[in-house]
Amino acid sequence: MVKEFDVIVIGAGPGGYIAAIRAAQLGFSVACVEEWTNPQGKRVLGGTCLNVGCIPSKALLASSEEFEKILHHAIDHGITTSNVKIDVAKMLARKDGIVNKMTGGIEYLFKKNKITWLKGHGKLIAKNDVGYQIDVSSDEVTESVSSKYVIIATGSKSRHLSGIVVDNKLISDNEGGLSFESVPKNLGVIGAGVIGLELGSVWRRLGADVTILEAMPKFLSAADEGIAKEAAKLFKKQGLKIEMGVKIDAVTTDKDSVTISYTTIDDKEQTLVVDRLIVSVGRVPNTENLGLGNIGLGVDERGFIDVDACCRTKLPNVYAIGDVVRGPMLAHKAEDEGVLVAEVIAGQQPHIDYNCVPWVIYTSPEIAWVGKTEQQLKAEGRAYNTGQFPFMANGRALGMGSSDGFVKVLADANTDEILGAHIIGLNASDLIAEVVVAMEFKAASEDIARICHPHPSLSEVVREAALGVENRSLNM
């Protein structure tokens, strides 16, 4: 007998598992299909983000940052150290332990909310009397289930380059780049985006000589130009070598090294020999082998599913969220879309303001932004005012030994509505949330400027930048 559910979610990454939980909270009978298997052969929830993405990379970033602090900065605090070493195996084990704790936590939440976990690969088969039939295949066994509502949340996978074979040994994508058994002496990274910068930073801190090759002529072109310029300066100071406007001509391997032949932006042919190479040139949606054509649903030329503002596809009661649809490939964006869809199904009227979705790069210092950049406002011809304040004038940042960077707030020249904020500095990922809240409520820069912030704290830098919009910063 075919099991029937109100809602079936395909994919248990941040978008999928959150959609399933919210739908269950709203009283629906819910099933979630997930096929992910960890290196130990166990089926786990959480998708790319929790297993080989956001969570493990942040664990390694934290470990490598602690190592660098002890090695190079403890002396500034009067702490003398000697014979400092990194145990890579133990660092990776810590990372794996965090991943297991998080994925186990989702399994607990599924049980708590009475969500059925269908272990295997989900494929849409046909429309039926209930709504839609989905076959779930695992270990040569296939189970058919049906539901009135379907939420596609299958996420994305690393984009590979033609002619470069990723074996996750000598040449890795983001997944392999999280699991090097030892610190490479020389590491090459193709791609200076979020993943490339984060993984490059991890292994540089641990002792690798890191060279990042990027095809785009401008560094961090999606970020505010002032932030990108400051980041490039700081990363160079740290020892990251970043070459922009590069054309990769060939990548070859031998027993224990990789040779990258490339052409620079000024047409010079160069060769880079490294012990390991990470290819991090973006991600592509996981929309293959889902049986979308069986129900009359297609994808665009890049593999994305077309949806409206509420993540509805062209088919009744079929939704798609996260990395398989338009917009930034961000875990928190997928989570919000998962909540939105569950509430739409329940007859509520939620909304997402995509202009208020923050971006974060977890380098050191961190980079975060929300809303418009200065270059976007100039292109739109919108009159705006700018307030900027450096962390070097903040007592808390100085006390913590992390005073690089600044906060920039952009506000409408006529109404003072906050149009964007850009942060490069310590804990930028946390500080940006205050501005996200302000923008969601259409606040003015004066609203942040007049709010009492704790002293001493890093949050004061946000306030001082807001004060600076009207040229009245108090500590500079």
- Long-range CB pairs of 85-90 (<8 Å, 24+ gap) are 86/183, 86/206, 86/207, 88/180, 88/181, 88/182, 88/183, 88/206, 89/181
Quote the longest CA-to-CA distance of the chain: 73
With CA atoms as reference, report the closest residue to 36 among 91, 100, 108. 100
With CA atoms as reference, report the closest residue to 324 among 297, 296, 357. 297
CA dist., res. 378 & res. 397, Å (int) = 32
Q: Which of 72, 73, 351, 455 is catalytic?
A: 455
Q: Angle 115-120-123 (CA atoms, 0-180°, nearest 5)?
A: 95
The reply to whether 455 belongs to the active site is yes
Q: Are 20 and 32 in contact (CB under 8 A)?
A: yes
Cα–Cα distances in Å, from 306 out to 319, 325, 431?
A: 10, 6, 33
Question: Quick one: 441 exposed, middle or buried, by C-beta within 10 A (0-12, 13-18, 19+)?
Answer: exposed
By residue count, the chain amounts to: 476
For residue 225, the surrounding DSSP H or E stretch is helix 225-238
171-172 and 276-279 strand pairing: parallel
User: Can you say how many angstroms the Cα of residue 66 is from the centroid of all Cα atoms in its chain?
Assistant: 22
DSSP states of 418-453 = EEEEEEEETTHHHHHHHHHHHHHTT-BHHHHHHS--
Beta strands in 322-417 (DSSP E): 359-361, 366-371, 384-390, 406-412
Which residues are CB-neighbours of 133 under 8 A, at least 6 positions away? 2, 124, 125, 126, 127, 144, 145, 146
Question: Which residues are annotated as catalytic?
Answer: 455
